[in-house]
């Protein structure tokens, strides 16, 4: 009998529309707005884990709507003046509430799975790295959505007024704003994690800690239980007691949830692990980008061949995991025999090779410059070194690099002048100065531009 009633509820009530509205809102936000989820290595279609995290990110906008729609659904019994009729039926109140909540939870779960499936089809084409780390993120997100609609139903049943659903929606948005996640937010991490929202993955190398999943699952289970009880019990004392599951969930979540961002969002060791091509000079990428190893191998070996003119030249290319934030540990510092490439923002061979030659094959570092050195001094030295190595200053890709073009024409003019001065020196001195720039990049000491233009560490 309960199954038949549930089937009728799914066909004839607003429950079937809940899932449709939720899915349309999520897809509209994802495809209709320009945001960080569509850019760079942290795009929602880049990796399985980032797909699940970006889906949770959209709850910042959709969860309040679900909360409000739940309140509308919960108040329908009193709006239709059926209280007396339903109270006279032999069916327990908890069964009626379970049918309402179950129907809404089923449609919202299906909507969440459909959205994930749309992204999964595209993620499967773009990466060879698969892990089940995304599964708890997805499941806890579905639990959070179901808990939101059940809690909304409880409030709607308790306060069956026309103004209740919009006020509940405003309250939901207020809660999302109060717990807004930003790296510099003054809101404690544990409080941030009380929100169903997770920060979208800015990189393919981040995962969500198990303690986050456990703490949030306890919290949202308590919220759902309290919302359900409010819809069932009668009397002031019973309704006050119905808040106990939520209070218990909050207490357990506070005990379990981590207090530091680095603990909540650690690096994924599987994604950071290296996969190498040893058919020639060694070229390595992270496992998260293992499907791009063939793309990097050719430009990487060409870059090593150009760097071979320097004394103690590197013999290996290794991808640097793009941290995306201050919380993700990178690989150890460069060794003398390594050069590293930072990310896969552009995949044409010339640009890949150019990127690996920046700083004579070194990664950027926060070099302490002497007084009077401009803010672009380090980048300028890195660009000139790459240009000198790339066919003696031909720089066929410099003008196409958006990061450099944004510096304005003055940057290119200064680079041209410094490079002309470098090329006027005897060849052994040119080699010595470019090698000095590489050493400065390896140690993060000295002024690379002064080493390149004046042959000394400081001006």
**250 and 355 assigned to the same domain:** no
Instruction: Tell me: do 161 and 190 sit in the same domain.
Output: yes
Same domain for 209 and 298, yes or no, is no
What residue has token string 């799975």?
113
DSSP state of 338: E
Q: Compute the CA torsion angle 155, 156, 160, 163 (nearest 10 deg).
A: 90
What tokens does 118 get?
């749309």
Closest to 230 measured CA to CA, from 153, 134, 291, 146: 153
pLDDT of residue 138: 97
Same domain for 204 and 57: yes
Tens digits of pLDDT across the chain (459 residues) = 456 656 666 666 667 788 889 999 999 988 888 777 765 444 677 789 889 999 999 999 999 999 999 998 888 766 555 554 455 455 677 777 788 888 888 999 999 999 999 999 988 888 888 889 899 999 999 999 999 999 999 999 888 888 999 999 999 999 888 887 555 566 788 888 999 999 877 777 888 999 999 999 999 999 999 999 998 888 888 888 999 999 999 999 999 999 888 899 888 888 888 999 999 899 998 898 888 888 888 988 999 999 999 998 888 888 877 655 433 334 444 455 556 555 554 567 777 888 888 888 887 775 444 444 455 778 888 888 888 888 765 554 454 455 566 666 677 777 778 888 888 889 999 999 999 999 988 888 888 888 888 876 544
Residues 313 and 445 in one domain: yes
Residues 80 and 172 in one domain: yes
pLDDT at position 372, please?
A: 46
Describe the crossing of helices 59-74 and 15-32 by its angle, rounded to 10 degrees: 160
Full-model pTM = 0.80
Percent of the chain with pLDDT strictly greater than 90: 31
Q: Is residue 23 part of a domain?
A: yes
Which of the listed residues 267, 297, 314 is the one where a domain comes to its end? Answer: 267
Query: Does residue 459 form part of some domain?
Result: no
Residue 174 lies inside a defined structural domain of this protein? yes
Do the domain assignments include residue 403? yes
What are the two backbone dihedrals, phi and then psi, of residue 408, each rounded to the nearest 5 degrees? 95, 170
Give the C-alpha separation, 326 to 330, whole Å.
10
319 bridge partner residues: 341
pLDDT of residue 218: 97
Of 231, 251, 267, which closes a domain?
A: 267
Assess if residue 296 is contained within a domain.
yes
Same domain, 227 and 143: yes
Q: Among all chains, which residue has been given the structure tokens 């040119």?
A: 430
Do 226 and 361 fall into the same domain?
A: no
Asked if 89 contacts 172 with a C-beta cutoff of 8 angstroms, the reply is no
Domain-embedded: residue 458: no
Does residue 283 contact residue 301 with C-beta atoms inside 8 Å?
A: yes
Write down which residue in 247, 267, 287 finishes a domain: 267
- 46 with 184, same domain: the answer is yes
- Residues 248, 313: one domain? no
330 falls within a domain: yes
Give the pLDDT confidence score for residue 85 in this predicted structure: 46
Read off the tokens for 456.
């000394």
Same domain, 401 and 319: yes
Residues 357-391 pLDDT 10s: 888 888 777 544 444 445 577 888 888 888 888 87
Residues 71 and 146 in one domain: yes
Q: Are 415 and 384 in contact (CB under 8 A)?
A: yes
pLDDT given for residue 397 in this prediction: 42
Span 323-334, pLDDT tens digits: 554 333 344 444
H/E stretch holding 2: helix 2-12
Distance (Å, whole) CA 341 – CA 274: 13
Structural domain tally of the chain?
2
Q: Which strands make up the sheet holding 338-342, listed edge to edge?
A: 274-277, 282-286, 316-320, 338-342
Range of the domain at 351: 273-453
Q: Is 39 among the domain residues?
A: yes
């Amino acid at each position: 009998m309960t199954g038949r009633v549930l089937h009728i509820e799914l066909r004839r009530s607003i429950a079937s529309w809940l899932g449709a509205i939720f899915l349309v809102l999520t897809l509209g936000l994802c495809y209709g707005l320009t945001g960080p989820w569509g850019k760079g290595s942290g795009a929602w279609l880049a990796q399985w884990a980032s797909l699940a995290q970006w889906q949770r990110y959209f709850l910042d906008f959709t969860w309040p709507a679900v909360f409000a729609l739940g309140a509308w659904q919960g108040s329908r019994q009193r709006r239709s003046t059926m209280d007396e009729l339903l109270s006279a039926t032999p069916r327990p109140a908890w069964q009626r509430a379970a049918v309402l909540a179950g129907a809404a939870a089923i449609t919202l779960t299906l909507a969440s799975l459909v959205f994930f499936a749309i992204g999964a089809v595209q993620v499967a084409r773009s990466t060879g790295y698969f892990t089940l780390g995304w599964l708890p993120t997805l499941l806890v997100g579905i639990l959070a959505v179901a808990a939101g609609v059940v809690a909304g139903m409880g409030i709607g049943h308790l306060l069956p007024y026309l103004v209740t659903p919009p006020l509940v929606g405003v309250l939901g948005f207020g809660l999302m704003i109060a717990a807004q996640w930003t790296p510099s937010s003054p809101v404690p991490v544990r409080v941030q994690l009380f929100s169903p929202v997770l920060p979208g993955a800015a990189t393919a190398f981040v995962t969500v800690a198990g303690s986050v999943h456990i703490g949030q699952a306890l919290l949202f289970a308590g919220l759902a239980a309290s919302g359900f009880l409010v819809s069932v019990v009668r009397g002031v004392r019973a309704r006050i007691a119905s808040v106990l599951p939520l209070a218990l969930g909050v207490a357990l979540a506070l005990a379990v949830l981590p207090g530091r961002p680095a603990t909540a969002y650690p690096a994924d060791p599987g994604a950071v692990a290296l996969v190498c091509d040893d058919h020639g000079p060694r070229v390595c990428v992270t496992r998260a980008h293992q499907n791009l190893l063939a793309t990097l191998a050719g430009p990487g070996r060409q870059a090593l061949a150009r760097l071979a003119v320097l004394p103690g030249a590197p013999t290996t290319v290794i991808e640097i995991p793009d941290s995306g934030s201050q919380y993700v540990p990178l690989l150890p510092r460069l060794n003398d025999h390594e050069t590293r490439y930072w990310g896969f923002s552009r995949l044409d061979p010339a640009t890949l090779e150019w990127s690996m030659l920046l700083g004579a094959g070194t990664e950027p570092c926060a070099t302490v410059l002497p007084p009077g050195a401009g803010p672009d001094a380090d980048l300028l030295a890195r660009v000139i070194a790459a240009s000198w190595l790339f066919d003696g200053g031909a720089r066929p890709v410099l003008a196409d690099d958006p990061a450099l073009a944004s510096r304005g024409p003055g940057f290119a003019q200064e680079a041209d002048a410094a490079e002309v001065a470098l090329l006027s020196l005897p060849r052994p001195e040119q080699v010595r100065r470019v090698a000095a720039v590489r050493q400065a990049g390896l140690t993060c000491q000295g002024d690379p531009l002064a080493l390149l233009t004046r042959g000394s560490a400081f001006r």
